């Protein structure tokens, strides 16, 4: 039982779908962990930037000759190193976040494809088993009805053939008797001739009533009569029929998509693809801004190094302060742009997740609708098969009743004919007995007459036979 269940799950792809779901869950957990790490790293980076800004403001108040200035430089160095560490860590986390996001998108697409395959295979399995059950039921029902019909029909045919065989045997036995043989043969010939005439008349009537005769012209005349016009008409008709068939096919496909909910699934998938494209563009912009921000920070570090080397009284120190102010303004602007793009990326990611879930739900709803409608269609098909079987059974019963009535009528006619033949047999037997008695009496009378009468001469013999010939062949008066 476990092997059957395992084979069924492997056949419909349930194991692969569960593996894809577990992979999606693991990637979602990893993505949530990375999001928390990135948020904490960003908060730490903001704190370090605040401390660095406060330290720069305090450096403006302290001169280079003070002992506090060295301590402030040491704190600035530690804060810059911490800032660099957090920047590199944030960059690594962002790259890992992008990779996990792409893996999660591919995993979602894989899950959707596996679920569609599982739904299609499950629908095919249900449809196959429903059709198999309906076909087996139909075959079993037809087999039973055919056995019943064949048994009844074979019994009736056997009885009818046995009766016909008995009648034929009686007829053959009576025909073998010598008495009244020519008269009987003449009677049978008359019956056969009458049957033949009736069949010929019926055939002529059927020909006159059912069939109609037409004169077919030769092929050359048909080809000569308007061949070009017919060719153009047929070509135009074919083109119009093809276009009509294509339009009807497209209408049927659109109706099926709208009925099964495939249009909503396509809209949701297009929305997911659009959000993915927007997310890729935002990621490209974020990487570009991050690169510019890194260059600005590197320039700011170079300016800080130059400030540490320069003295406050030099003109170069003022230029470096101005450059630092401009670079800080640019860093602030780039940082704000980076925060905006990062927020936009997060929003797009949340929109992408919601769109993927919506697409997933739409696909699941569409698969369920198709599954339910396939089950309903299978049930309706089975019901139509049962109705068709019942109608076939009804028509077979009507045919069987007609055959049974015809067999009963033929049996009744055969019994009547058998009774007539029996009466004819008795009358023929009685006439045969009377004829034999008559022949015996005549033979005895001739013998007595031959004994009493003298011997006939040749002239009397000739006269007697000539008189008989004249009586037979020469008409009277």
pLDDT tens-digit series, residues 383-431: 888 888 889 888 888 888 888 888 888 888 888 888 888 888 888 888 8
Lowest-pLDDT range, 42-51, 160-169, 247-256, 431-440? 160-169
56 contacts 73 by C-beta, under 8 angstroms: no
Residue 185 has what pLDDT?
Answer: 37
pLDDT tens-digit series, residues 2-57: 556 656 666 666 677 778 778 888 888 888 888 888 888 888 888 888 888 787 77
Residue 164 has what pLDDT?
Answer: 60
Residue 13 has what pLDDT?
Answer: 65
Mean pLDDT of 59-87: 78
201 contacts 456 by C-beta, under 8 angstroms: no
Residue 171 has what pLDDT?
Answer: 55
pLDDT band at 173 (very low <50, low <70, confident <90, very high): low
pLDDT band at 235 (very low <50, low <70, confident <90, very high): very low
Task: Determine, yes or no, domain membership for 446.
Answer: no
Residue 231 has what pLDDT?
Answer: 46
Please tell me the total number of residues recorded for the chain in this structure: 477
Residue 179 in this model has a pLDDT that exceeds 70: no
pLDDT tens-digit series, residues 335-375: 899 889 888 888 888 888 888 888 888 888 888 888 888 88
Domain that holds residue 105: 1-144
Residue 317 in this model has a pLDDT that exceeds 50: yes
Lowest-pLDDT range, 104-113, 159-168, 435-444? 159-168
152 contacts 404 by C-beta, under 8 angstroms: yes
Task: Determine, yes or no, domain membership for 64.
Answer: yes
Mean pLDDT of 303-328: 82
Residue 298 has what pLDDT?
Answer: 86
Residue 34 φ/ψ, nearest 5 degrees: -65, -35
Task: Determine, yes or no, domain membership for 180.
Answer: no
In the chain, what are the helix, strand and coil shares in percent, each to the nearest 5?
Answer: 90, 0, 10
Task: Determine, yes or no, domain membership for 45.
Answer: yes
Residue 65 has what pLDDT?
Answer: 67
83 Cβ contact list (under 8 Å, min separation 6): 45, 48, 49, 52, 297
Task: Determine, yes or no, domain membership for 77.
Answer: yes
DSSP code per residue over 70-114: HHHHHHHHHHHHHHHHHHHHHHHHHHHHHHHHHHHHHHHHHHHHH
Radius of gyration in angstroms for the set of CA atoms belonging to the chain, rounded to a whole number: 57
Residue 3 has what pLDDT?
Answer: 59
366 contacts 262 by C-beta, under 8 angstroms: yes
Residue 198 has what pLDDT?
Answer: 42
Residue 168 in this model has a pLDDT that exceeds 80: no
269 contacts 359 by C-beta, under 8 angstroms: yes
pLDDT tens-digit series, residues 292-302: 888 888 888 88
Task: Determine, yes or no, domain membership for 463.
Answer: no
Beta strands in 228-273 (DSSP E): none
Task: Determine, yes or no, domain membership for 221.
Answer: no
Lowest-pLDDT range, 90-94, 206-210, 279-283? 206-210
Residue 153 in this model has a pLDDT that exceeds 60: no
Domain count, the chain: 1
Mean pLDDT of 254-273: 84
Residue 6 has what pLDDT?
Answer: 59
Q: Could you give the CA distance from residue 391 to residue 384 in angstroms, rounded to a whole number? A: 10
Alpha helices in 315-457 (DSSP H): 315-452
pLDDT tens-digit series, residues 79-88: 888 888 888 8
Q: What is the CATH number of the domain that holds 123?
A: 1.20.120
Task: Determine, yes or no, domain membership for 113.
Answer: yes
- State the average pLDDT for the chain: 75
pLDDT band at 228 (very low <50, low <70, confident <90, very high): very low
pLDDT higher at 228 or 281: 281
323 Cβ contact list (under 8 Å, min separation 6): 303
Residue 52 has what pLDDT?
Answer: 81
């Amino acid at each position: 039982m476990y092997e059957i269940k395992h084979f069924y799950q492997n056949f419909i792809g349930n194991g692969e779908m569960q593996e894809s779901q577990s992979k999606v869950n693991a990637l979602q957990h990893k993505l949530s962990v990375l999001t928390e790490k990135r948020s904490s790293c960003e908060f730490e980076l903001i704190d370090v930037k605040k401390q660095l800004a406060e330290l720069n403001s305090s450096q403006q108040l302290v001169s280079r000759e003070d002992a506090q200035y060295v301590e402030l430089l040491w704190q600035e160095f530690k804060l810059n190193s911490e800032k660099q560490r957090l920047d590199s860590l944030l960059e690594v986390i962002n790259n890992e976040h992008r990779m996990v996001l792409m893996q999660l998108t591919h995993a979602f697409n894989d899950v959707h494809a596996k679920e569609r395959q599982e739904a299609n295979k499950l629908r095919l399995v249900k449809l196959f088993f429903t059709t198999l059950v309906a076909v087996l039921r139909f075959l079993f029902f037809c087999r039973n009805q055919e056995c019943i019909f064949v048994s009844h029909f074979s019994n009736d045919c056997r009885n009818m053939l046995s009766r016909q065989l008995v009648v034929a045997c009686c007829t053959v036995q009576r025909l073998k008797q010598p008495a009244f043989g020519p008269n009987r043969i003449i009677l049978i010939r008359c019956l056969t001739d009458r049957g033949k005439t009736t069949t010929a008349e019926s055939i002529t009537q059927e020909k006159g009533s059912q069939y109609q005769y037409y004169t077919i012209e030769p092929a050359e005349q048909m080809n000569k009569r308007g061949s070009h016009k017919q060719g153009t008409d047929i070509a135009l008709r074919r083109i119009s029929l093809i276009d009509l068939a294509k339009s009807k096919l497209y209408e049927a496909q659109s109706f099926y998509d709208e009925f099964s909910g495939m249009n909503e699934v396509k809209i949701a998938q297009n929305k997911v693809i659009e959000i993915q494209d927007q997310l890729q563009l935002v990621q490209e912009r974020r990487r570009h801004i991050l690169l510019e921000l890194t260059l600005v920070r590197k320039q700011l570090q170079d300016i800080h190094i130059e400030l540490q080397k320069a003295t406050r009284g030099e003109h170069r120190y003022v230029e470096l302060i101005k450059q630092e102010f401009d670079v800080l303004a640019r860093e602030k602007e780039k940082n704000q742009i980076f925060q905006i793009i990062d927020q936009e990326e997060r929003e797009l990611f949340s929109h992408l997740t919601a769109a993927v879930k919506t697409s997933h739900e739409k696909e699941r709803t569409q698969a369920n609708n198709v599954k339910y409608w396939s089950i309903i269609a299978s049930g309706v098909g089975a019901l139509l098969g049962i109705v068709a079987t019942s109608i076939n059974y009804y028509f077979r019963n009507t045919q069987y009743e007609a055959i049974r009535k015809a067999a009963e009528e033929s049996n009744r006619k055969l019994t009547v004919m058998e009774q007539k033949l029996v009466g004819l047999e008795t009358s023929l037997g009685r006439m045969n007995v009377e004829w034999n008695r008559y022949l015996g009496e005549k033979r005895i009378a001739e013998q007595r007459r031959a004994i009493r009468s003298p011997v006939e001469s040749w002239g009397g013999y000739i006269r007697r036979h000539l008189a008989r010939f004249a009586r037979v062949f020469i008409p009277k008066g």
